[in-house]
Structure 1
Amino acid sequence: MVSFINRNFGKLVLIVLFCLWLVVLFAQASPVQLIQEFGLFSVLGVVGAIFANATGAGGGVVFVPFFNYLSFSPQSVVATSFAIQCCGMTAGALTWARYYKRQHGHDHYWKALPSALMLTIPASICGIGFAQYSSQSAKLLEQLWGGANHLHVAFGGFSVLLALAIFASIPLMKRTHFEKDLKTKDLVLLPFISFVGGIVTAWLSVGVGELIAVYLIIRGFNVTMSIAIAVIISAVTVWSALPYHAFITDAVVWQVVVFAGAGAIIGGLLAKYVVLAFSVQRLKLFFGVWVLILGVTSLPIL
């Protein structure tokens, strides 16, 4: 029995999640009407999670501009994006963690993964906590971007910078030899970048995964490992951010999450195969162009 569970653990988890989803859906007053109104959000969840978990960029890169287009309030944009990412990024993180354990547990080029996570995850959670619960965070946001009502401008500026960083890192992906160990400077820079990334993530629902992935790639670490680290840290970060919006702001649009979250789980499970099936350089190039377009169209210059 135990061996059967171990062999089929992933499938059993999917079955349990699917059953829970059905229970939540049919517990609603009008499930058929809910499907008609919000069912297509499942496609958005699949697409967003595939890009998020295949590139290390958070799903907010997909969800934020889409929810802005639907005229969600600034808090609902971020809160709903977090809730969906809790589904998709968790599925992706578990998939990457199992891939690491089975395929690269003794790979020298992947040996930095546990240490990098230990350095980045606590710092990112601290950044989330500072941004959400500190009064200084609101003042900082006001000074930098003029407050939450200018979310689209902040998102556009961050997306443009992210796209440029992605383009700059593409030539580095042709390396055949990679860094194996973290250096002294990494012990300082990784927590610092994660803390700043956590703050940015709390404001925009994107940030920490992208920053860490780009940094590790530029430093010369294995590209696929860098993506795996970014996905895992993003998953933990969005879970730490969700309670604030679920219980304090109450800004999550749960009807959207029911369907987009289910799609995100599917996308999170598929993302690893996208990375392994296609050229990482082409995937990054396509994603960088797409992020650049989203960023430019979010700015008030158009």
Structure 2
Amino acid sequence: MHYSKATLIRCFLFALWCLAFFAYAESPLQLLGEYIGFAFLGIVGAIFANSTGAGGGVIFVPFFSQLGLDNTTIVATSFAIQCFGMTAGALSWFLWFKKEKKSDVEWQPLYRVLLLTVPFSIAGIWWVQIVDWQSPNSLHATFGAFSVVLALAIFASIPLLKNSQFSRYLTGLDNCFLPVIALLGGGITAWLSVGVGELIAIYLIFRRFNVSFAIASAVILSAFSVWAGVLYHIMQSGAVYWAIVLFAGLGAVIGGSIARFVVLYFSVTRLKLFFAGWVLLIGIASLPL
């Protein structure tokens, strides 16, 4: 019997989750009863993240704020959950690219986009974390302002989704702008656990690249970025809320695996309108008005 690479990877991830669950849980049934609801949160966050290019932190940060978690725990836990969801989504997008789009000229810049963004995003994240450069405002205010700007940018990009002619090559200006945006986005991601994927996706859409290509590039970039970002919180801050991660991470793997099908099945314009509206409401609610 032949199994696809994606199926084998998902089985491996689920096996790792089972090992972690029984190793962590002193009372498995009690832990399951208390935290199983976070699996649904992980599914929703990962579908949002991997179908729009925006990080799952857009869902996780305001939810954890309502739970009363401190700022460092919110960001650290969001990073850890996204390690599951963004990795599953990145693998799903990349394997689909290798199978269906490898010879598509509109997808040829994928490797170059990642080469121009991944190292700079990681550098931006580590720079902010190591220097311990605090965000200019509180987490809520910074997150709210970023969410509002992000929502407005998504709304502005929607008319571009009607393009039938897409860019196929990166220009000299792209080679300059992408690393700068990734560096700045990495710094924002260190503060909020979201940022770099959203900025790169919107930039590529405004540059009239294929929308699915832009989303896939942002998801794969975000997967590398959250793994780089979570290392600090595992080794230095110790702020990851592992019980939440255990269940939300499982849901994120499921959500990340099916998000590509959501993008390819539903209207991209409607998805963008729905998520932009949702992000705008969250952003306004997070602002200290």
TM range (shorter): over 0.9
Give the structure 1 partner of residue 158 of structure 2.
170
In the TM superposition, residue 61 of structure 1 has moved relative to its aligned partner by 0.2
In the TM superposition, residue 25 of structure 1 has moved relative to its aligned partner by 1.4
2-structure distance, mates of 1:279, 1:268 = 18
Counterpart residue type for residue 258 of structure 2: L
In the TM superposition, residue 159 of structure 1 has moved relative to its aligned partner by 0.1
Among 5, 26, 29, the residue aligned to 2:26 = 29
2-structure distance, mates of 1:76, 1:116 = 31
2-structure distance, mates of 1:9, 1:113 = 20
In the TM superposition, residue 263 of structure 1 has moved relative to its aligned partner by 0.2
Among 131, 146, 149, the residue aligned to 1:158 = 146
Give the structure 1 partner of residue 56 of structure 2.
59
Answering whether residue 255 of structure 2 is matched by residue 267 of structure 1, we say yes
User: Is the CA contact (8 Å cut-off) linking 2:81 and 2:245 kept in structure 1?
Assistant: yes
User: Is the CA contact (8 Å cut-off) linking 2:6 and 2:91 kept in structure 1?
Assistant: no
Give the structure 2 partner of residue 218 of structure 1.
206
Give the structure 2 partner of residue 130 of structure 1.
127
User: Is the CA contact (8 Å cut-off) linking 2:120 and 2:183 kept in structure 1?
Assistant: yes
In the TM superposition, residue 111 of structure 1 has moved relative to its aligned partner by 1.0
CA RMSD, aligned part only?
Answer: 1.0
1-structure distance, mates of 2:10, 2:119 = 28
> After alignment, is 7-16 or 175-184 more displaced?
7-16
User: Is the CA contact (8 Å cut-off) linking 2:77 and 2:239 kept in structure 1?
Assistant: yes
In the TM superposition, residue 173 of structure 1 has moved relative to its aligned partner by 0.5
TM-score (norm 1): 0.94
> After alignment, is 292-301 or 17-26 more displaced?
17-26
Question: In the TM superposition, what are the counterparts of 1:48-197 in structure 2 within 5 Å?
Answer: 48-135=45-132, 137-138=133-134, 141=135, 144-145=136-137, 150-197=138-185
2-structure distance, mates of 1:98, 1:10 = 7
Identity, % of aligned positions: 54
User: Is the CA contact (8 Å cut-off) linking 2:6 and 2:95 kept in structure 1?
Assistant: no
TM-score (norm 2): 0.98
Structure 1's unaligned 5+ residue stretches are: none
Structure 2's unaligned 5+ residue stretches are: none
In the TM superposition, residue 9 of structure 1 has moved relative to its aligned partner by 2.3
Give the structure 2 partner of residue 250 of structure 1.
238
Number of residue equivalences: 288
Give the structure 2 partner of residue 17 of structure 1.
13
Answering whether residue 232 of structure 2 is matched by residue 236 of structure 1, we say no
SS of match in other structure, 2:65: helix
User: Is the CA contact (8 Å cut-off) linking 2:124 and 2:182 kept in structure 1?
Assistant: yes
Stretches of 4+ aligned residues off by more than 4 angstroms: none
Counterpart residue type for residue 252 of structure 1: V
User: Is the CA contact (8 Å cut-off) linking 2:145 and 2:283 kept in structure 1?
Assistant: yes
In the TM superposition, residue 16 of structure 1 has moved relative to its aligned partner by 2.1
In the TM superposition, residue 19 of structure 1 has moved relative to its aligned partner by 2.0
Counterpart residue type for residue 63 of structure 2: F
Counterpart residue type for residue 246 of structure 2: V
In the TM superposition, residue 265 of structure 1 has moved relative to its aligned partner by 0.1
In the TM superposition, residue 26 of structure 1 has moved relative to its aligned partner by 1.8
In the TM superposition, residue 12 of structure 1 has moved relative to its aligned partner by 2.0
Give the structure 2 partner of residue 47 of structure 1.
44
